[in-house]
Amino acid sequence: MKVVISGSSGLVGRWLVPHLEAADHQVVRLVRGEVRPGTAGVATWDPARGGLDAGVLAGADAVINLNGRTIGDGRWTARLKEELRSSRIRSTETLARAIATVATPPPLLINASAVGYYGDRGEEVLDEGSPAGTGFLAELARDWERAALAAASGRTRVVLLRLAMVVGRGGALERMLLPFRLGAGGPLGSGRQWMPWVHIDDLVGILLHAGRSESLRGPINGVAPAPVTNATFTLALARAVRRPAVLPMPAFALNVAFGEMSGMLMASQRVMPALALRSGYAFSHPDLDGALASLLAPDARRDAA
């Protein structure tokens, strides 16, 4: 297969590309800026201005769009919020237009989205049929998905992969490790908010499963089948690094430190991977303790020594 990928330098892309190449697929990475002539497997594009030669998609069997600035980069100023929106929506619109333009469009577009789509829902159990929530992230995910669905046609199937917090080497987990290793970790606010997560192996696995399963289209939750509360996650991570976790951060302190972004940290989303399970996907890391151990056990053994 020929697979065109945007956002290949992010956490998911760095994990996904080697998997595809190991299976002998031809990967074309979309990158911004100049590309040296003759460089294999790379094509240039300008998502901010809608610049993409539709010829790059010629003969592609799938397009995977992971493009988007990291949500947790800093306080959500008006400027940053616009960058978070434009980095996702404009890139998706650029790909959707190119797909519509090419003579033989690729049969599959897998577009990243996020469980932020559901908003803050308390104890409600959520699946792919649950309606959108409210707030900045819910509106962003809704508009992001709408831009991707513009590519849907009788010839192109669109899958919307709603990502939870990815447990992998890098990303949010990497940022948490230092305070937890220093014994300064603790629950956020009450800790009762549900916190969906997924191991990087399973996120890539769900993505590939969705690509192979022609009956799957529209949203699919990229989450583990055992969501946990923030307090439970905190205790599991503390156990994994063999440190105490006794320093909670009150909600008011989160608001002072992070402003509007604190709402994301306090939101409760009890999200289940209903479609992944129903369609036969078997999770490699269904429980949090095992998922963390698969990544952190070598560090814990080294610390103990």
For the chain, percent of residues with pLDDT exceeding 90: 75
Burial tier of 38 (Cβ tally within 10 Å: 0-12, 13-18, 19+)? exposed
CA–CA separation, 264 vs 133, rounded Å?
13
Question: Percentages helix, strand, coil for the chain, rounded to the nearest 5?
Answer: 45, 20, 35
- The answer to whether 63 and 109 have CB atoms below 8 angstroms apart is yes
Collapse the DSSP code of 75 into the 3-class scheme (helix H, G, I; strand E, B; otherwise coil) and give the result: coil
Predicted confidence (pLDDT) per residue in 124-143, tens digit: 999 999 999 999 999 999 99
Mean pLDDT across the stretch 178-200? 92
Predicted confidence (pLDDT) per residue in 5-39, tens digit: 999 999 999 999 999 999 999 999 999 987 777 77
> Quick one: pLDDT at residue 298?
57
**Residue 136, token pair as written in the block:** 């900045």
Domain spanning 2-304: CATH 3.40.50.720: yes
- The answer to whether 5 and 27 have CB atoms below 8 angstroms apart is yes
- The answer to whether 176 and 233 have CB atoms below 8 angstroms apart is no
Assess whether pLDDT exceeds 60 at residue 305.
no
Q: Which residues contact 69 (CB under 8 A, 6 or more apart)?
A: 83, 84, 87, 88
Name the residue with higher pLDDT: 157 or 260: 157
Structural domain boundaries in the chain: 2-304
**Residue 114, token pair as written in the block:** 């996020």
CA–CA separation, 175 vs 195, rounded Å?
16
pLDDT interval class at 171 (50, 70, 90): confident
- The answer to whether 44 and 33 have CB atoms below 8 angstroms apart is yes
**Residue 208, token pair as written in the block:** 């590939």
The pTM (predicted TM-score) of the whole model is 0.93
Predicted confidence (pLDDT) per residue in 230-272, tens digit: 999 999 999 999 998 878 888 877 787 778 888 888 999 999 9
